[in-house]
Amino acid sequence: MSFTGSGEHNVSLATHSFILETELFPLCKALRMLGFDALCRSDLSHRDAIARSIEERRVWVLKSPATPGLHYGIKYFLLETDEVPDQLDEIDEQYTIREGVTYFSRCLKCNLLLTAIPEEKLLNKVPERILQNFNKFQHCTSCKRIYWQGSHLKRMRQKLESWGWREGEAGG
């Protein structure tokens, strides 16, 4: 269910920006894997979460309507299901996010967009065998994590696809 508290702010969902309660961290990670801007409340004070929800026009995703501060006019979405695949489908049903899927374009830790990094800048940062087997790398400019299309990413992609989420496809 989608709600807006009093003093509604005009929320544009074209950017698909979300803030999620701490207990929804697995969903937050899945949204990031799909390329969506998703903050987890555990990273922020309650006051900062409210401010960012309003300033950045984020939809607050939660399981309980008893979250303090919702009367500030924050756009929020109340989940009815407990499993991540079902929760993703709920969000898609409300906001049609499936069309915006861009696998692994965000840092799973920091939520920032990843940027390409040339191989020559990776010496002593990734194992030599990785440099020999892969030629495309991305990194997070904040936490400095480095990503490549290895087996871990392949397993995450398979998991997302088993849930019915495919990059660049509308509809489930």
Give the pLDDT confidence score for residue 9 in this predicted structure: 32
Quote the tokens at residue 112.
Answer: 């920032």
Does residue 152 belong to any structural domain of this protein? no
Give the pLDDT confidence score for residue 69 in this predicted structure: 61
> How far is the C-alpha of 63 from the C-alpha of 43, rounded, in Å?
18
Bridge partners of 76? 3, 60
Does residue 92 belong to any structural domain of this protein? yes
Q: Which amino acid is at 31?
A: L
Does residue 143 belong to any structural domain of this protein? no
Average confidence score pLDDT of the chain: 84
Does residue 110 belong to any structural domain of this protein? no
Average pLDDT, stretch 113-142?
93
Query: Which pLDDT band, with edges at 50, 70 and 90, does 16 fall under?
Result: confident
**CATH number of the domain residue 92 falls in:** 3.40.50
> How far is the C-alpha of 34 from the C-alpha of 84, rounded, in Å?
13
Does residue 60 belong to any structural domain of this protein? yes
Does residue 25 belong to any structural domain of this protein? yes
Average pLDDT, stretch 85-103?
92
Mode of pairing for the β-strands spanning 17-20 and 37-40: parallel
* Cβ atoms of 160 and 32 closer than 8 Å: no
> How far is the C-alpha of 133 from the C-alpha of 135, rounded, in Å?
7
In the predicted structure, residue 34 carries a pLDDT above the cut 70: yes
Residue of 90, 116, 103 lying closest to 18 (CA atoms) = 90
Query: Which pLDDT band, with edges at 50, 70 and 90, does 169 fall under?
Result: low
43 or 99: which carries more pLDDT confidence? 99
Give the pLDDT confidence score for residue 107 in this predicted structure: 96
First to last CA, the chain: 20
Q: Mind listing the pLDDT tens digit for each residue in 136-154?
A: 999 999 999 999 999 988 8
Structural domains counted in the chain: 1
Does residue 56 belong to any structural domain of this protein? yes
Tokens 């990273």: give the residue. 43
Give the pLDDT confidence score for residue 47 in this predicted structure: 82
Does residue 76 belong to any structural domain of this protein? yes
Quote the tokens at residue 58.
Answer: 């984020």
Q: Which domain holds residue 61?
A: 2-100
Give the pLDDT confidence score for residue 67 in this predicted structure: 65
Q: Mind listing the pLDDT tens digit for each residue in 104-115?
A: 999 999 999 999
Bridge partners of 90? none
